Structure 1
Amino acid sequence: MAKFASGALLEGIKLDQNSQSPLYRQLYIGIRKLILSGDLPPGTKLPASRTIATELDISRTTVINTIEQMISEGFLETRRGSGTYVTQRLSEMTEFYQTSVEDDPESGEEDPNLCLSKRGQGYADLPHQYEPEGIFTFRPSQPAYELLPHDIFSRLTNRYQRKPKDEYLTYSDRGGYMPLREAISSYLKASRSVRCTPEQIIITSGTQTALNLASQLLIDPDDSVWMEDPGHTAARCVFQGSGAKVVPIPIDEHGFNPALCPEEEKNKAVKLAYVTPSSQHPLGRRMPLTRRIKLLEWAQQNNTWIFEDDYNSEFRYTGRPLSALQGLDKSGRVLYVSSFTKILYPGLRLGYMVVPKSMIEAFAHASTILQRSTPLLTQQIIADFINEGFFATHMRKMRKVYHQRQQILLQAADKYLKDLVEISAVDQGFHCNAWLPEHADPEMVETTLRAAGYAVNNISYYCMKPYKRKGIMVGFAGTPEDKIPEGVKGMAKILREIL
């Protein structure tokens, strides 16, 4: 009788051959529902797999796989020489599975008592500006994707992928792939006057990872971190997420100036100062040598770390770049950070940090715990890209291209935007700032322009305290030359309507 009942019920299972769900999964769900509903009570014998396959018009292999899965999960059990039965131990699982939302994830209600940790909630509450999807015109900080050396990357990739050695398939060295660290060390000595050995270089997946490493190793909760204001919002979020007290320091014509700290912060300990001396972000101001020396003296007197973000030093269009702060530092308190985001592309996820000699072991060890570095293949490709001269060639080419695009932008702005915004050239970087009239609403300007396809950024997003001027960041590096004039013309039309 049990055999007939189970056979009749299994015939009632409906399978959809056109469903995206595999047949074995549909059969599994159908049998499970019969078991949990009591229609197949404990001890019920199932028909033979061949019979089920014939009656449901599916392969016997599908049936066997389903039954084996349900036996492993405890729904079914086998008796030697007798067949397959619904398990007698079902009661201990029934209540849980009857309330399970596995087959309908939209139907469940999560426990309201589940919550983030205080640190997790803090991260969730921090500001974040999502990049507009599918919009590339005038996006700040975007390189020229269409001019990337894809053919070279392909050749270098094939070099390692065609017949990879065993050591290419494992993790890289602590701190990163040594040939890449050696290449970066040579490059930094020659181009940025950075004083370092390859061992001092820690390969990261970008500046944000370097910031997180520095925060974890150097900053305790409630430590004071001084930051440029306006400044890099993503960096601020990392420090705030680590529990630091971030103090905004107003920017003057030469960038970061500790003398401008709020009155209530004077004579208080400062654990770390975050600076962008080569091209202050987002204002683009350059810190002169005299200010750099004073900043290092201030840091030594106050026993303060300096995090030097040299994010786009390669793209200077007038004169030679000044030496990095790290190269001037004699007390080993500057952490120098840069990446290949602007030179190549953000999706590469490859950056580096130069740490003091006394910190090599600590940072290398923490790096293996917190990030495991960028994939080894990527590091190998970029090491060869640098060592074989492709890097320098590409950088010189792109510097000329970006300078030309900036000039085209400025010419178009002079023609179409002259009476609407104030925009001027920058010595370095990927964007110009367009200063709006006093009566303008910069958030509304940003929203309107983005809706029309212009990926501009509101400068106030980078401010902890209101800045004296209202403006938007207009990128030029990632927009092809032939699209810039028409883009500026279209932007001018919109601005005339809303200003």
Structure 2
Amino acid sequence: MAKFASGALLDGIKLDPNSLSPLYRQLYTGIRRLILSGDLPPGIKLPASRTIATELSISRTTVINTIEQMISEGFLETRRGAGTYVSHHLPAMTDFYQSIDEDDPQQDVEAPDLKLSRRGQGYADLPHQYEPEGIYTFRPSQSAYELLPHDVFSRLTNRYQRRPTPADLTYADRGGFMPLREAISSYLKTSRSIRCTPEQVIITSGTQSALHLISQLLLDPGDAVWMEDPGHMAARCVFEGSGANVVPVPLDEHGFNPELCPPEHKDKPVKLAYVTPSSQHPLGCRMPLTRRIELLDWAQQNDAWIFEDDYNSEFRYTGRPLAALQGLDKSGRVLYVGSFTKILYPGIRLGYMIVPGSMSEAFAHASTIMQRSTPKLIQQVITDFINEGFFATHMRKMRKIYDQRQKVLLAAAEEHLKGLVNISPVEQGFHCNAWLPDHVDAQEIEDILRQAGYAVNNIDYYCIRPYRRKGFMIGFAGTPEEEIPAGIQGMAKILRRIL
């Protein structure tokens, strides 16, 4: 019996000292394969560790450590004074793995009945437009990464990384790091006329996580969500994924208008309306005060929530940032959401939402269960970034730069794109819209421009129902000023060829 085990073991294991895989791992894999294939059946005795080490020309310590690991995992067992044996509890496993080579995952044959849940399949089927990798010219959602205050971030980060306290290494408070919630509350009161306490501020990992949290806490499957059309596609995907019935509401020159809701949905209950009142996404129009008041009255009469996505409110180029819809709300029906994605960069994964005071504890509790928020270190750094004045300085600097970049883009468009597309200036945001002739296939234009290195987005992508105009979004914030004229000139050459 021992002779058979020794021969089977030593003949069946090939070690390669030049492999990137360490010897102990190679030995472990070899013995495991022999056990699971049945070449070392249950109950058979293994050779002594000294014998294995000698025959395979490896350290005895390597052999002992490997055997102890396999004993702890249940592949092997010891009998006092009698040696090491293959465990008796493996017959079903050996039959299952008889023909499997664990080093070749291509041999794995998955069960044919593996299925997602209905909700999971729904998410998998939702449309989503991924940003083209490595293409940044004129990307609509991109800020100026090259102008971020990295030296400031590094200095602030080192405060907490050099000698972290136990409190620095724990989770943030429920709902987010309280000093950050206080800083955001103070900032929003002065800059956006928001009415809130720090406890009403819930820290999220961005707008998407806020959407998900609100969908789970306020919407039941089948609830109607009225959405701007065209509108933010990612928001639509979250609502539909949660089982809500998304109703497209056409826009007028002032943005979202409940009166334009399709007749078949107008008299049915509605649970939530998603709006971008300060700068409609993607069209860029601004909701005036009269429409805002009408919208708040509509929410009150219909017992509905309003989701106010204020995604780029800080970047207004004609006067101060507009007051938020939430500041006009007297009944707590507006859920205000903001993000540092556009102010700083997407990878920071930091956002916030303002919820009614009566619901703040429930949202803080749920956010802890569902997401645990952004890492505490980032929240601490951004707290200092705001409180020490770096945030305000950065915002003033970037407004001027983005305003200038838009002017350069418009001047270049006037020179090179006139007669091809119509581009109008925007008061706020990161992109202008380039409107095409009605007969053009906008998706084809997007595909061609992306292949040429321009990260433009087709307006049709944001529509649930066909929009009356054809066009694409062309960003200016993330493209350096000196690159804009040549970029527009190159785009003009392409458009002249295909229009």
Sort the TM-score into its range (normalised by shorter chain).
over 0.9
Structure 1 Cα separation of the partners of residues 337 and 393 of structure 2: 22
Partner of 1:450: 450
* SS of residue in 2 equivalent to 1:33: helix
Partner of 1:320: 320
Partner of 1:220: 220
Equivalent residues of 1:137, 1:454 under 8 A apart: yes
- Worse-superposed segment, 357-366 or 21-30: 21-30
Q: What residue identity is the alignment partner of 1:321? A: P
Deviation string 1:293-334 (CA, Å, 9 cap, x unpaired) is 111111111111101011101000012333211101111111
Structure 2 Cα separation of the partners of residues 304 and 88 of structure 1: 64
Partner of 1:233: 233
Partner of 1:471: 471
* SS of residue in 2 equivalent to 1:98: coil
Partner of 1:6: 5
What is the Cα deviation at residue 89 of structure 1? 4.3
Equivalent residues of 2:37, 2:95 under 8 A apart: no
* SS of residue in 2 equivalent to 1:106: helix
1:469–1:170 CA distance, 2 compared to 1 (3 A): same
1:228–1:153 CA distance, 2 compared to 1 (3 A): same
What is the Cα deviation at residue 57 of structure 1? 1.6
Structure 2 Cα separation of the partners of residues 310 and 41 of structure 1: 65
What is the Cα deviation at residue 60 of structure 1? 1.7
Structure 1 Cα separation of the partners of residues 259 and 173 of structure 2: 42
Structure 1 Cα separation of the partners of residues 79 and 271 of structure 2: 70
What is the Cα deviation at residue 352 of structure 1? 0.5
Structure 2 Cα separation of the partners of residues 14 and 100 of structure 1: 18
Q: TM-score, structure 2 length as denominator? A: 0.97
Equivalent residues of 2:349, 2:374 under 8 A apart: yes
- Worse-superposed segment, 430-439 or 65-74: 65-74
What is the Cα deviation at residue 450 of structure 1? 0.9
- Worse-superposed segment, 55-64 or 98-107: 98-107
Structure 1 Cα separation of the partners of residues 458 and 207 of structure 2: 22
* Identical-residue share of aligned pairs (%): 78
What is the Cα deviation at residue 4 of structure 1? 3.1
What is the Cα deviation at residue 45 of structure 1? 2.8
Q: TM-score, structure 1 length as denominator? A: 0.97
Partner of 2:52: 52
Q: Where does 1:191-206 land on structure 2 (aligned, <5 Å)?
A: 191-206=191-206
Equivalent residues of 2:37, 2:97 under 8 A apart: no
Structure 1 Cα separation of the partners of residues 329 and 367 of structure 2: 24
Structure 1 Cα separation of the partners of residues 65 and 154 of structure 2: 42
Structure 1 Cα separation of the partners of residues 105 and 491 of structure 2: 45
Q: What residue identity is the alignment partner of 2:457? A: N
Partner of 1:480: 480
Gaps of 5+ in 1: none
What is the Cα deviation at residue 37 of structure 1? 4.3
Deviation string 1:422-451 (CA, Å, 9 cap, x unpaired) is 111111000010111122111111111111
Structure 1 Cα separation of the partners of residues 464 and 380 of structure 2: 40
Partner of 1:131: 131
Gaps of 5+ in 2: none
Partner of 2:408: 408
Count of aligned residue pairs for this structure pair: 498
* SS of residue in 2 equivalent to 1:19: coil
Equivalent residues of 1:3, 1:44 under 8 A apart: yes
Q: What residue identity is the alignment partner of 1:17? A: P
* SS of residue in 1 equivalent to 2:273: strand
Equivalent residues of 1:289, 1:322 under 8 A apart: no
Q: What residue identity is the alignment partner of 2:2? A: K
- Worse-superposed segment, 255-264 or 35-44: 35-44
Partner of 1:83: 83
Q: What residue identity is the alignment partner of 2:8? A: L
Partner of 1:269: 269
Could you list the structure 1 runs, at least 4 aligned residues long, displaced by more than 4 angstroms after superposition: none
Partner of 1:185: 185
Equivalent residues of 2:33, 2:101 under 8 A apart: no
Q: What residue identity is the alignment partner of 1:156? A: L
